């Protein structure tokens, strides 16, 4: 089917980035959140990010204006019902996602494809609670969405070929690359990335290295653009912990046990950049290691 309109649930870090790239690619976008403040902040951030692209000659001023004109916002999630494609990008908690899809259900058009931007939760399980498991799949963008080129497409056990093909065509129109993943905990990227981050936290926890030495070692020794602890702060330590718990619970292997230090940081509310403290303290001009 031809996708013309895209509804996005959640105006946070991922949702506003998805709205940005979809509108820039010419799709009509309807963005929803439970808070008007979140929607206002998202629109402001999208505008500033588009301005940055204009200043770098990535897009024209006319492109920027047209993109902003294609994005509408609403506080009512049911307003998304008529959209051709809906991308859920709410918080990484399964019960929240189930509640969103349940509220959307009665309002959906017969042809609407449902997708989730989840980074780790079972697509088959999410789909099974809807009225359209054959038109449901995982649509996992990387962060920051306007910059990162990969989108993981995850089929649930019931996802049909037409749904997969439609989502694949959207990724191509966004000028990104799709990677197909099977529906197992954390899919491909996070199945590999999160245990690396968790191991870096263990190295810190056991006193093998400091925050600075660990990040420097991976940046210069493995040619990573960011160290694992810096990256964890960027992603959000609560998200990292949630994904490690999904891996540990879903695969029942002790190698996925979350490091106690990661749990402790999350319990403290030190979640990384979004709370100004994580493995680094971001409250000053320069990030300072917290251990």
The string of pLDDT tens digits covering residues 39-70 is 999 999 999 999 999 999 999 999 999 999 99
- In tens, the pLDDT along 185-211 reads 999 999 999 999 999 999 999 999 999
Going from the C-alpha of 102 to that of each of 8, 108, 126, 139, the distances in angstroms are 15, 10, 10, 19
This prediction has a pTM of 0.90
Residue 111 and residue 149 in one domain? yes
| CA 196 – CA 227 distance, rounded (Å) | 11
The last residue of one of the domains, among 125, 157, 181, is 181
Is 67 inside a domain boundary?
A: yes
Is 148 inside a domain boundary?
A: yes
Task: Give me the number of domains the chain comprises.
Answer: 2
Residue 195 and residue 252 in one domain? yes
169 is catalytic: no
| pLDDT of the residue at 142 | 94
Domain that holds residue 224: 190-282
Residue 99 and residue 173 in one domain? yes
Residue 148 and residue 10 in one domain? yes
pLDDT along the chain (291 residues), means of 10: 95 96 98 97 98 96 98 98 97 94 97 95 96 98 95 97 98 98 95 98 98 98 97 95 94 97 98 97 97 93
Residue 149 and residue 38 in one domain? yes
Is 253 inside a domain boundary?
A: yes
| pLDDT of the residue at 70 | 98
Is 246 inside a domain boundary?
A: yes
The last residue of one of the domains, among 133, 155, 181, is 181
| pLDDT of the residue at 110 | 97
Is 287 inside a domain boundary?
A: no
Catalytic residue among 20, 117, 122, 152: 152
Residue 26 and residue 113 in one domain? yes
| pLDDT of the residue at 92 | 86
152 is catalytic: yes
Is 62 inside a domain boundary?
A: yes
37 is catalytic: no
Catalytic residue among 20, 190, 198, 230: 190
The last residue of one of the domains, among 162, 181, 200, is 181
**Token pair for 19:** 């709205």
Is 109 inside a domain boundary?
A: yes
The CATH number that applies at residue 163 is 3.40.50.720
| pLDDT of the residue at 1 | 79
Residue 133 and residue 251 in one domain? no
Residue 102 and residue 228 in one domain? no
| pLDDT of the residue at 74 | 98
| pLDDT of the residue at 120 | 87
Catalytic residue among 16, 49, 119, 198: 119
Residue 69 and residue 163 in one domain? yes
Is 48 inside a domain boundary?
A: yes
The CATH number that applies at residue 254 is 1.10.1040.10
Catalytic residue among 88, 116, 140, 198: 140
190 is catalytic: yes
């Amino acid at each position: 089917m031809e996708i013309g309109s895209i509804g996005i649930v959640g105006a946070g870090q991922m949702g506003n980035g998805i709205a940005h790239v979809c509108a820039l690619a010419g799709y009509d976008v309807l963005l929803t959140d439970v808070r008007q403040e979140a929607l206002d902040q998202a629109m402001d951030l999208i505008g500033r990010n588009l301005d940055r692209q204009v200043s770098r000659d990535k897009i024209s001023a006319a492109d920027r204006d047209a993109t902003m004109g294609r994005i509408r916002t609403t506080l009512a999630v049911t307003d998304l019902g008529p959209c051709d494609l809906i991308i859920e990008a709410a918080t990484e908690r399964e019960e929240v996602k189930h509640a969103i899809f349940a509220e959307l259900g009665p309002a959906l058009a017969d042809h609407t494809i449902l997708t989730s931007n989840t980074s780790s939760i079972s697509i088959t399980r999410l789909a099974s609670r809807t009225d359209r498991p054959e038109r449901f799949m995982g649509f996992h963008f990387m962060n920051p969405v306007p910059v990162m080129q990969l989108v993981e497409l995850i089929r649930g056990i019931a996802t049909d070929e037409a749904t997969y093909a439609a989502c694949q065509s959207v990724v191509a129109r966004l000028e990104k690359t799709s990677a197909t993943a099977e529906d197992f905990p954390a899919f491909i990227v996070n199945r590999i990335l999160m245990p690396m981050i968790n191991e870096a936290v263990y190295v810190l926890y056991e006193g093998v290295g400091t925050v600075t030495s660990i990040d420097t070692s991976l940046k210069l020794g493995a040619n990573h653009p960011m160290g694992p602890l810096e990256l964890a702060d960027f992603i959000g330590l609560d998200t990292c912990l949630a994904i490690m718990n999904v891996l540990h619970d879903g695969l029942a292997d002790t190698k996925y046990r979350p490091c106690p230090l990661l749990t402790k940081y999350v319990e403290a509310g030190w979640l990384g950049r979004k709370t100004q403290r994580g493995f680094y303290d971001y409250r000053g001009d320069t990030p300072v290691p917290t251990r």
